[in-house]
Amino acid sequence: MAQNGARGPRCIALVGPFQSGKTTLLEAILARTGAIPRQGTVESGNTVGDASKEARHHKMSTELTVASTTFMGDSYTFLDCPGSIEFIHDMRAALPGVDAAVVVCELDEKKTPQLQLILRELEDQKIPHFLFVNKIDKSGSLADQSVHDALAMLQPASRCKLLARQLLTFSDDIVTGFVDLALERAFVYKEHAPSEVIELKGDALEREKTARFTMLETLADHDDELMEQLLEDIQPPRDKVFDDLAKELRDTQVCPVLFGVATRTNGVLRLLKALRHEAPGVAETARRLGVSPGRDAVALVLKTFHTGHGGKLSVARVLSGQAGDGTTFNTPDRDAGRVSGVFKQLGQQTEKRGPAQAGETVGFGKLDHARTGDTLSAGKQAHPAIATATPYPPVLANAVSAKDRKDDVKLGTAFAKLTEEDPSIVVVHNSDIHEVVMWGQGEMHLRVAAERLGDRYGVPITAHAPTVGYRETIRKPITQRGRHKKQSGGHGQFGDVVLEIKPLPRGSGFKFEDRITGGVVPRNYIPSVEEGVVDALKHGPLGFPTVDLHVALVDGSYHTVDSSDMAFRTAGRVAIVEGLPQCQPVLLEPIYQVEIVCPTDATAKMNAILSGRRGQILGFDTREGWPGWDTVRALMAEAEIGDLIIEVRSATAGVGSFTFKFDHMAELTGRTADQIVAARRAAE
């Protein structure tokens, strides 16, 4: 049997659809390997994973959990990754540094699109992966061909060939154990205990031979020697089978499928042994990432935490060399800082330890300038960046502010930490309207972010829908005089201008023209007139900034003593304020191009949702490279996009998403426009 003693410490990601049992599987692994005394449950709120206040409250994974343990003398770090699409960035950022992933799933056809999202990410990043079919005790009545049926159900989600590693055994349609097709041994499940080996005979033996031959045929698709042995009816040596399993897993030519029940630890020991014998090690992972062996320390930052007691912690996989307390790291574009402490993690528990060797996954303390996704180098010459996980475009936003105004400065610091921990959150400061907008991946994502700001960083916030970028313009040209005259003893104030105001084509913005002749307005005051015009355009007669118009200064008068920059600025503003209401002002709303991706069976629902939100559907196509998915395109008002993602996710079992970009401004009239203008005036 292939051994992996030289493969070094392993890093394994636990990934899969939302609520498939990843955190429970992590708990079972930690209990089975002796890292914890007993297995907790998600329902009881006593698991190593999902230990944050937000995760406990919502009973879901909201961020990566890191837990190290040992099994049969080998070191492992397991990364329990969130399954919800709203928190999936933690998984995407961590995957490049892992040796393999275990995809935890259920025999539930409704979750196939969720599974496809996860598998596509693994396939695109060329991460070797196993499928662990969980909760087989809750899959209903199982027939003899259940493994074949399970693979047939799951295969559409995977571009990689699914390979059954086990054959299930039954008693009265209840799964009692399995046959390992590589080992050719039968096992009976024992709850919270290792499975017991039993004799393989009779009908079970015949079924095992058939299933094993099918497994070997699949492996032989990528091994000519094995194919020849099968054609000549020669049984390949067991070591040869395990070598092929390891090679084809590493090359992502197959995805081995195992079965179990994480709550009872059924199948967990067999999964651990498959990882031990077949999963690649750090040398293969470093080669995949282009890191040469034997050089100075190189590490990849998988996740950033800001702990309440220890400050910033950068979770990193060491890919070569050794790094310890005092190691100075750099990246291709900056110094990352000096390590202050190396830590082993078991969920939220950290333990200081010695230097980290190649293959180990540790927490580096206080690397102030390191970010998630960074390639860290200890050598004089920085190693080129080896991985970047660009967050999905944000789809939902809240305008936020500190509940207590004295926390405004503190909120800025909290935002910096929040976005370091979760780069899929984007904070935008809109200085024009003095609004801070926090963008995220969905309703729950923003809710959890708000909870973290309050609970973790001590800055409670208030949130509301962001301001829509309405504008207004004019339809009719006019000529308007603006005069400012004031006498209050001593020098007075005098400014007099005549402006021609006319509309411009949509998207032209604002243009100012000086057409003064004969010096009726001195040259030095003309910039002040323009400033006054610009000031007035910030708040038009409907209550919004005015755009797409041309203003020409054509006439005016001045006083040699009383005229000033301020007087002419005021005169320009007066002319605009008095003139615009006569220009037939009209409301403009931003229109965006929206592109929704969704499973094909939800396309009709997407069309209905878009139509109900004043969307103009442009068409739809099959999503390239995604069997069973469509892309729907439409033009849509910004006001209707606000909470669109909530409906999209609801109609697609949580997997639909969209991107959008500004297209144009369009006139809005009628009752909707009247309501918007009335609401604006009421708020002033």
Amino acid at 78: F
Q: Residue 190 falls within a domain, yes or no?
A: yes
For the domain that residue 559 is a member of, what is the CATH number?
Answer: 3.30.230.10
Q: Residue 360 falls within a domain, yes or no?
A: yes
* pLDDT at residue 2 in the model: 42
* Residue 472: pLDDT band with limits 50, 70, 90: very high
Residue pair 553/499 in contact (Cβ under 8 Å)? The answer is: yes
Over residues 493-526, the pLDDT tens digits come to 999 999 999 999 999 999 999 999 999 999 999 9
Q: 484 and 444: one domain?
A: no
Q: 83 and 162: one domain?
A: yes
> Measuring CA to CA, how many Å separate 677 from each of 248, 415, 470, 614, 672?
64, 33, 10, 19, 9
* Residue 54: pLDDT band with limits 50, 70, 90: very high
pLDDT exceeds cutoff 80 at 294: no
Q: Residue 23 falls within a domain, yes or no?
A: yes
Q: 213 and 116: one domain?
A: yes
Q: 671 and 555: one domain?
A: no
For the domain that residue 367 is a member of, what is the CATH number?
Answer: 2.40.30.10
Which is nearest to 608 in space by CA: 660, 642, 671, 652?
652
Summarize the confidence of residues 18-43 as an average pLDDT: 96
* Residue 140: pLDDT band with limits 50, 70, 90: low
pLDDT exceeds cutoff 80 at 7: no
Q: How far apart are CA 613 and CA 644, in angstroms?
A: 9
Residue pair 324/339 in contact (Cβ under 8 Å)? The answer is: yes
pLDDT exceeds cutoff 60 at 144: no
Q: Residue 390 falls within a domain, yes or no?
A: no
Range among 17-26, 136-145, 165-174 with highest mean pLDDT value: 17-26
Q: Residue 536 falls within a domain, yes or no?
A: yes
Residue pair 10/281 in contact (Cβ under 8 Å)? The answer is: yes
* Residue 490: pLDDT band with limits 50, 70, 90: low
* pLDDT at residue 495 in the model: 96
Q: 236 and 262: one domain?
A: yes
Summarize the confidence of residues 576-593 as an average pLDDT: 97
- List CB contacts of 287: < 8 A, sequence separation 6 or more: none
Q: 37 and 98: one domain?
A: yes
Mapping DSSP onto H, E and C, the string for 557-625 reads ECCCCCCCHHHHHHHHHHHHHHHHHHHCEEEEEEEEEEEEEEEHHHHHHHHHHHHHCCCEEEEEEECCC
Q: 418 and 458: one domain?
A: yes
Share of the chain above pLDDT 70, in %: 98
Q: 450 and 597: one domain?
A: no
Q: 452 and 484: one domain?
A: no
Q: 304 and 190: one domain?
A: no
If one counts the domains in the chain, the total is 5
Q: Residue 27 falls within a domain, yes or no?
A: yes
Per the structure, the complete domain to which residue 575 belongs is given by 471-583
Q: Residue 119 falls within a domain, yes or no?
A: yes
The encoded tokens of residue 516 equal: 């003064």
Q: 148 and 241: one domain?
A: yes
Token pair 């992502």 in the structure block, residue? 252
* pLDDT at residue 314 in the model: 98
Q: Residue 391 falls within a domain, yes or no?
A: no
- The residue out of 260, 286, 312 marking a domain boundary is 286
For the domain that residue 95 is a member of, what is the CATH number?
Answer: 3.40.50.300
* Residue 5: pLDDT band with limits 50, 70, 90: very low
- The residue out of 524, 558, 583 marking a domain boundary is 583
pLDDT exceeds cutoff 60 at 557: yes
> Measuring CA to CA, how many Å separate 108 from each of 14, 21, 133, 149, 614?
19, 13, 10, 12, 35
- The residue out of 286, 316, 331 marking a domain boundary is 286
Q: 349 and 414: one domain?
A: no
* Residue 489: pLDDT band with limits 50, 70, 90: low
